[in-house]
Chain A
Amino acid sequence: MPKTLYDKIWDIHVVARQDDGTCLIYIDRHLVHEVTSPQAFEGLRMAGRKVRRADLTLAVADHNVPTTPDRAQGIREPESRHQVETLAENVRESGIEYYAMNDIRQGIVHIVGPEQGFTLPGTTVVCGDSHTSTHGAFGALAFGIGTSEVEHVLATQTLLMKPYKNMRVEVDGVLSPGVTAKDIVLAIIGEIGTAGGTGYVIEYTGSAIRALSMEGRMTICNMSIEAGARAGLIAPDETTFAYLKGRPKAPKGEAWDKAVAYWRTLPSDAGAKYDKEVKLDATKIAPTITWGTSPEDVAPITGIVPDPAMTKDNVKKQSMQRALDYMGLTPGMKLTDVTVDKVFIGSCTNSRIEDLRAAAQVARGRHVAKNVQALVVPGSGLVKQQAEKEGLDKIFLEAGFEWREPGCSMCLAMNEDRLDPGERCASTSNRNFEGRQGRSGRTHLMSPAMAAAAAVTGRLTDVRELT
């Protein structure tokens, strides 16, 4: 029977199967960060258990770390410091490789894994973080887990679970200028909704997906969770292999050849069955932003703030009204008339080199608008180094952007980077929930180029007008 990419990865990872269909699944790669792991290590200690495969585990602190240049002197905030120190101690005790805050390889866990070649096609990858779906861009079955499961993986290198259903999202056609992977994924979420992928693993296919770089593919898979799917997948191809070749943890020599031969067998078979299929026309996607407090609240930048009165469903009407009140927007208002206070370019969705290049291209020769604070937070020390080699830091600094150290930063505002109450942000991150970037802060999600455009004009802007 023809199999999907997901079925193939699932099948080769089944260690044992119970009568009710629950499977024990082997985990090839485990990424660990400071926020969701301390209770797991504590649990192991209390039960007298050891880490089974430290060699398949990689740790880095990202959520709490400051992004200001003075961080080499340590973390000021005591609770954040304690959490990061706890991670360092836990990994030392268990022999897990760890990139400390001032290591060039440190960065957001989902940037670091692929960058090091830790993430490989056909593997299972988990992390106590919902955006682990990012790694699906390599054709790896990658998903976020809770802390109890982190403990389970540390102790046994496996997880107990039932298979998900298969969903295919096919995006065909050529993107218009100014339209990026972020716009594709926002359009997909707008189409299927934030619960549209619940219970499924989404495989993204079609010519528009194939044409994307690995960076773009990671942006798409990253936001699978915002579409409700625990994992997203893109079949590995030449783009994938070219990205991985020569990475520190990627296979070398004969092992590389063997691996590639195997990876070529992974793509879904012709005629493989999906439980749900969705198609999108890439040529119809415009630069897209969110207007509300759910990632499904999307609109093209050329659009207006929607009117709850136009919605028949009462629950939907109420939640739209609540979102508009929170966001301080009125129906019918042009989106390009909405002014911003802060701009955040970063996060596991959009802080890779390609994202910084796109933002820098808009920033070059322009200046951040008066009263706007704009942050550029590279995804890792290596991304930062590469950007500096290309002179992107100078472009940003000359344009009045702040050039920061790597970390999660204002995506979830666990460190000092956050919105003040009522402030509005053009953000390249993944969630626009109430309070996500700071209590009573207002988030509009968009691509890096669009965020840079908002920074220089001081309002939500169609980046195509700036080129």
Chain B
Amino acid sequence: MQKFTKLTGVAAPLPMVNVDTDAIIPKQFLKTIKRTGLGKNLFNDLRYTPDGGENPDFVLNQPAYRQAQILIAGANFGCGSSREHAPWALQDFGIRCVIAPSFADIFFNNCFKNGLLPVVLPQEQIDQLMELAKQGAALTVDLETQCVTAYPRNINFSFKTDAFRRDCLLNGLDDIGITEKKTAAIGSYEERQKAERPWV
């Protein structure tokens, strides 16, 4: 997995609540059997008109945000389906970090498996970052110190990340590799269960 340590980049403001995974990557793009190439259809229905042209009002079509690496959004970001195509599409577009007041559980979880950092901050701080993003300010997200800063402005917001997940992101660790070290424990669990719950 791609590591996430520290990132400085343009933050795109997306002041919408309940941004669902159908909005992030609509179903017609889920027919792929690959993880890559979804970036061009990220936010497809918001980003493109029905005839395929760009919607100039959508933030990622504006010149200042075409290279955005950070997204600032409203509450309950990523609600809806379990499609990992949502973080894959964000990642493929170039977004490595989403900052929001809250996330839906499955999306939140999926981000960590893909080197994408979801950052939870209180609404007041999101409001400030949203304003800065609208002005085109660059933000720095540091997972080592767990801080979001906006130099030279006086912004330094600290956030919390689950210790294990943070460690995996910082070191680019693959979950399956970690679990495989427990193969013996899994085997003995299976033996025990065969005796205790044989019908399973």
Binding site for B on A (CB under 8 A): 12, 15-16, 18, 20, 22, 24, 26, 28, 35-36, 38-39, 42, 47, 49, 52, 63-64, 79-80, 82-83, 86, 120, 122-123, 128-130, 132, 143-149, 151-152, 155-158, 160, 162, 194-195, 198-199, 225, 228-230, 251, 255-256, 258-259, 262, 294, 315-316, 319, 412-414, 421, 431, 433-436, 439-440
Contacts and interface: CB of A to CB of B under 8 A. Distances in A.
A148 B33 contact: no
B81 A129 contact: yes
With most chain A CB atoms within 10 A of its CB, the pick from B106, B113, B176, B189 is B176
B37 to A, nearest CB: 12
A128 B84 CA distance: 9
A276 to B, nearest CB: 15
B176 A47 contact: yes
Interface stretch (B3-11, B16-24, B89-97): B16-24
B110 interface: yes
A145 B27 contact: no
13 contacts: A15-B189, A26-B189, A64-B31, A86-B33, A120-B200, A145-B109, A194-B79, A195-B102, A256-B199, A414-B31, A433-B23, A434-B45, A435-B22
Contacts of B28: 414
Nearest to B35: A39
B72 to A, nearest CB: 14
A438 B20 CA distance: 15
A20 B163 contact: yes
Interface stretch (B62-70, B141-149, B150-158, B180-188): B180-188
A158 B189 CA distance: 11
Contact of A431 (B22, B30, B34, B35): B22
A156 B182 CA distance: 9
Contact of A160 (B17, B27, B34, B179): B179
Contacts of B176: 47, 49, 151-152, 155-156
A449 to B, nearest CB: 26
Contact of B179 (A79, A158, A315): A158
With most chain B CB atoms within 10 A of its CB, the pick from A15, A255, A421 is A15
A146 B106 contact: yes
B174 to A, nearest CB: 8
Given A39-B33, A146-B110, A152-B179, 4 more contacts: A86-B33, A195-B102, A315-B17, A319-B18
Closest 6 CB pairs of A and B: A148-B113, A251-B199, A38-B33, A146-B84, A146-B110, A144-B82
A440 B18 CA distance: 18
A145 B82 CA distance: 6
B18 A146 contact: no
B198 interface: yes
A237 B88 CA distance: 41
A258 B199 contact: yes
B82 A194 contact: no
Contacts of A413: 27
B134 to A, nearest CB: 15
Given A145-B82, A155-B176, A16 B27 contact: no
B173 to A, nearest CB: 11
